[in-house]
Amino acid sequence: MVRSEDMKKTLLVGRHGVGKTTLKQALRGERIRYEKTQYMLYDDWLIDSPGEYAEVHGLGAALAIYSYEADVVAMLIAANDDYSLFPPNVASMINRDVIGIVTKIDYAPPDKAIAWLRNSGCRRIFCVNSHTGEGIDEVRRYLTK
Ligand SMILES: Nc1nc2c(ncn2[C@@H]2O[C@H](COP(=O)(O)OP(=O)(O)O)[C@@H](O)[C@H]2O)c(=O)[nH]1
Ligand SMILES: [Mg+2]
């Protein structure tokens, strides 16, 4: 059982469909189910964002502002993505701890996504399959205060 007061407040960022909401469910130990994210969602320690905030240039500022409410910003890329939304070294523009999470490692090797996340400035990178729970404990441990 995860107690929100034990956890670092974490903002999840990435394109729509990358697996932010599913990761949130896995980290919280909830049943995995599809749920479209229509607006910024605060579930105590996890802040889930709609993919459009990362994809539409004009909405990017909203993510910057929400990052100030977080201890950690997690940038997500799926192992089978064929592009990255995140500019090189963008982590240096965020004055929070920035980590990378590769989702959907059941679909493809994570190497390409790891390289993109590293290029964007993430020093810590985790690899997960939110459906089976692989890698979820490591992320949860890192996000525990
Ligand atoms: N195979 C696999 N599918 C995943 C994984 N994570 C998310 N998905 C699926 O990807 C789709 C989009 O996930 P969702 O969490 O809604 O993405 P979001 O738009 O970033 O919130 C859903 O059908 C999820 O079940 C994963 O690690 N492995
Ligand atoms: Mg979502």
Q: Mean of the per-residue pLDDT values for the chain?
A: 91
CA distance to 58, 91, 135, per residue, from 126 (Å): 29, 16, 7
Expressed as residue numbers, the domain containing 101 is 4-142
CA distance to 43, 45, 46, 65, 104, per residue, from 140 (Å): 15, 12, 11, 24, 17
Ligand 1: residues with CB < 6 A are 14, 16-22, 34, 37, 51, 103-104, 106-107, 128-131
User: Near ion ligand 2, which residues have CB within 5 Å?
Assistant: 20-21, 37
Ligand 1 mean position, distance from CA 114 (Å): 18
What gap in Å lies between CA 49 and CA 83, rounded to an integer? 19
Over residues 46-62, the pLDDT tens digits come to: 998 888 887 787 777 77
Predicted confidence band of residue 25 (pLDDT cuts 50, 70, 90): very high
Strand partners, 24: none
Predicted confidence band of residue 106 (pLDDT cuts 50, 70, 90): very high
- Give the residue, 36 or 105, on which the prediction is more confident: 105
Q: Identify the CATH number of the domain in which residue 23 sits.
A: 3.40.50.300
Count of domains in the chain?
1
What gap in Å lies between CA 102 and CA 79, rounded to an integer? 6
Q: Whose CA is nearest to atom 3 of ligand 1?
A: 104
Predicted TM-score (pTM) of the model is: 0.94
